[in-house]
Amino acid sequence: MANAREIKSRISSVQDTMKITNAMYMISSSKMKKAKKILSDTEPYFYNMQGAIARILRHVPDIQHPFFSVRHLIPQEERKIATIVVTGDKGMAGAYNHNITRMTEEFIASTPGYHKLYVLGMVGRQYFGKKDVDMDGSFHYTVQKPTMHRARLISEEVVRSFLEREVDEVHIIYTQMQNAVVMEPVNMQLLPLKKTNFSPLEVPVGVHQEEIEMFPSTDGVLDIMIPNYLTGVIYGCLVEAYASENNARMTAMQSSTDSAKKMLQDLSIQYNRARQAAITQEITEVCSGAKAQKRKGR
Amino acid sequence: MESTFGLEIYAANRQFFAGRAKSLIIPAEDGQKEFLAHHANMICAIVPGEMRFEDSEGNWLTVAVSSGFVEMINNRAKLFCLTVERPEEIDIRRAEEARDRAEEQLRQKQSIVEYHRSQAALARAMIRLRVSKNI
């Protein structure tokens, strides 16, 4: 059994670590609350915008717009697929980063074509920097405090490269928060847009459709609407990933605080035993010493 | 009673306005466009600029908007813009700094992308400054 002093220093080191994990737990829980609020603030804009695009598509079904073109002519092996990967800026968040990087690698392995990665967050950048993948080096954005401005820069970049045919598909891989416990990485296709995403139901024949005038033109409206919509989607993804990251960190830190508490309990029992053993030994020594003295005196 | 229409204004980070309105004047590509009650069904693109609307009590409100669009269907208008700001919400100093920065960047040699970006930034800053004079 280790001696009492060793156990004592172990206890104090566990206590120090527990202070850190507990503080991190508190910080991430407040950050997550903030992120959730931002998320709920953006929701009305987002859902109504989706509804508006669906309405346009319903009224102008045979739309020919570059954002909807699937580019059938390019064979699957030659397609250039860009993926925005949203990871965290630091670890200590359980499996959060690992899930994202694993999903990205699976996606690259399973989809033929030429892949390009736009990685957000330090952890992902360092991870993919060591791998043999094409990562856009100029894409230096942090994932802390997602803002509209950053979402706009990102969407400008992907829209530009899509329209200039540098890439044929754009995906985003981020962590979706289904509820406080379940978080799942999701792969979503941003471009080209799928019409079915907006209007899953076929409009029955014979239903009266009101006529809608588009100003300046259908294309002109979509030209403004779709980059805006994408900016909104990317912003939503960033906020959701941020909320999930902090939720993951919160859970991880809570469980490490819990296990630190358990360790402390075990260690304190060990310490008490060691102390007790030391006392018992001392008493035995004193007694036997006294006895020996008595015998000598007689 | 004067005729009104339903107006909902959504900015990316909040719902800016919901209620009845008498008139809505938006900045469009070729000038301004006014929507009154029972306007024909229409979807119209909005360019960054100064937008005004009159609520059912007759108060005019001027706001700065960035690009977006408005749909007017069955006497209900829904307006979507990335940002919608009241004059008193605008940070004048920040807008001035943004204007100076954009002007400085425009004086330098730039790629086409950078040129458009600085021009858009300049336009946003100028609109904010113009709207903020209405306090």
* pLDDT tens by residue, A212-269: 777 777 788 888 888 888 888 888 888 889 989 999 999 999 999 999 999 999 999 9
Please, which pLDDT band fits residue A282 given cuts at 50, 70 and 90? very high
pLDDT given at position B109? 75
pLDDT given at position A283? 95
Those of residues 19-58 in B touching chain A at CB distance below 8 A are 28-30, 33, 40-46
In chain B, the residue whose alpha carbon lies closest to the alpha carbon of A50 is B80
| pLDDT tens digits along A12-47 | 999 999 999 999 999 999 998 988 888 888 888 878
Residue pair B67/A224 in contact by the 8 Å Cβ criterion: yes
Residue A154, judged by CB atoms within 10 A of its CB (0-12, 13-18, 19+), counts as buried
What is the model's pTM? Answer: 0.80
Helices (H), B77-135: 92-107, 112-132
- Contact yes or no for B10 and A44 at CB 8 A: yes
Tell whether A232 lies on the interface with B, counting CB pairs under 8 A: yes
CATH (one of 2.60.15.10, 3.30.470.10, 3.10.180.10, 2.120.10.10) for B5-85: 2.60.15.10
- Quote the tokens at residue B76: 């209900």
> Span A270-297, mean pLDDT?
91
C-alpha span between B123 and A298 (Å, rounded): 110
pLDDT given at position A145? 82
| pLDDT tens digits along A134-152 | 887 777 777 888 888 888 8
Q: Which residues make Cβ contacts (< 8 Å) with residue A204, sequence separation at least 6?
A: none
Which helix (H) or strand (E) segment is B50 a member of?
strand B49-55
Q: For helices A4-59 and A218-297, give the axis angle rounded to 10 degrees.
A: 170
C-alpha span between A200 and A62 (Å, rounded): 15
Torsion angle of alpha carbons B62, B66, B68, B69, nearest 10°? 20
Q: Which residues make Cβ contacts (< 8 Å) with residue A99, sequence separation at least 6?
A: A175, A184, A185
pLDDT given at position A208? 60
Least Cα separation, residue A56 to chain B (angstroms): 9
Please, which pLDDT band fits residue A200 given cuts at 50, 70 and 90? low
Strands (E), chain A: 80-86, 114-120, 169-177, 183-191, 213-215
Nearest to A213 among B12, B40, B69 (CB): B40
Helices (H), A60-183: 96-110, 122-129, 148-163
| pLDDT tens digits along B61-91 | 999 998 888 988 889 999 988 888 888 888 8
Average pLDDT of chain A is 85
pLDDT given at position A281? 92
Residue pair A162/A191 in contact by the 8 Å Cβ criterion: yes
Least Cα separation, residue A212 to chain B (angstroms): 5
Those of residues 86-105 in B touching chain A at CB distance below 8 A are none
Mean pLDDT of successive 10-residue stretches along chain B, which has 135 residues: 85 87 91 90 88 90 89 90 87 88 85 82 87 77
Residue from B7, B8, B10, B115 whose CB has the most chain A CBs within 10 Å, to mutate = B10
> Span A69-80, mean pLDDT?
82
CATH code linked to domain B91-132: 1.20.5.440
Give the Cβ contact number of residue B41 at 10 Å: 14
Q: What is the 3-state secondary structure (H, E, C) of A196-210?
A: HHHCCCCCCCCCCCC
According to CATH, where is 1.20.5.440 located in chain B? 91-132
DSSP code for A72: T
According to CATH, where is 2.60.15.10 located in chain B? 5-85
Which one, of A246, A68, A51, A284, lies nearest residue A144 by Cα? A246
Q: Which residues make Cβ contacts (< 8 Å) with residue A220, sequence separation at least 6?
A: A214, B29, B45
| pLDDT tens digits along A165-181 | 888 989 999 998 887 77
C-alpha span between A223 and A62 (Å, rounded): 16
What domains can you pick out in chain A, each with its CATH number?
Answer: 60-202+210-250 (3.40.1380.10)
